[in-house]
Amino acid sequence: MQHSVDQRYAIKFCVKLEKSATETLAMIQKAYRKDALSKAQVFRWHKAFREGREDVEDKQRIGRPSTSHTSDNVAMVKAVFDSDRRLSVRLIADQVGLPKSIVHEIVMTELQMWKVCAKLVPKVLTDEQKENRVSISHELLDCVRGDPDFLEQVITGDETWVFEYDPETKRQSSEWHTTESP
């Protein structure tokens, strides 16, 4: 930004010396090399100064700022996450009133969070889960011994799991986590 303002002062100086826009461009490119303003920008500023503009700073622009990535917006998104980590980016965007792309950028870069889905891995069972499987298997075996026709009512399959509750789907169990989260 500072290079740009410096170059505008130089362009203004060249206009005062009555240099043409082409001469001004050549001097700017020689002085600033790879950091030089583009040809269009030099010509635009040269014309503006020739027409009487004195200020080298950009004019105040009307409307929404170029970015919605502010500390206030980051705080709002974080507050929503603190209340419920299972919300999707779209729902969070609706709650805070920001575009989905900005919310996603805040979540990924500022909050450094990503979505984690719960998944049961059979080889990594706790001792309690193993004991629960054994006790359920014993109960089923007792039922078979008590009623020989019991197996006609049971549907079996390879690696059958018996749960005492209806598990959530993978999508329902997904949550946002940071590197510090368990």
Q: With respect to residue 76, please indicate whether it lies within any of the assigned structural domains.
A: yes
**81 band by pLDDT with thresholds 50, 70 and 90:** confident
Q: What is the pTM of this model?
A: 0.39
Q: With respect to residue 146, please indicate whether it lies within any of the assigned structural domains.
A: yes
- At residue 123's C-alpha, the angle toward residues 122 and 125, to 5°, is 75
Q: With respect to residue 148, please indicate whether it lies within any of the assigned structural domains.
A: yes
Judged against a pLDDT cut of 60, whether residue 66 lies above it is answered with no
Residues 96 and 73: beta-carbon distance below 8 Å = yes
Judged against a pLDDT cut of 70, whether residue 35 lies above it is answered with yes
**157: domain range?**
121-166
pLDDT tens digits for range 104-120:
888 888 888 877 766 65
Report the domain count for the chain.
Answer: 3
**Mean pLDDT along residues 74-101:** 86
**165 band by pLDDT with thresholds 50, 70 and 90:** very low
Whether residue 10 is found in the same domain as residue 42: yes
Whether residue 76 is found in the same domain as residue 38: no
Whether residue 42 is found in the same domain as residue 81: no
Q: CATH code at 99? A: 1.10.10
Using CA atoms in the order 81, 84, 90, 91, what is the torsion angle rounded to 10 degrees? -120
Q: With respect to residue 77, please indicate whether it lies within any of the assigned structural domains.
A: yes
List b or e across 99-121, with b for residues whose CB sees 16 or more CB atoms inside 10 angstroms: eeebbbbbbeeeeebeeeeeeee
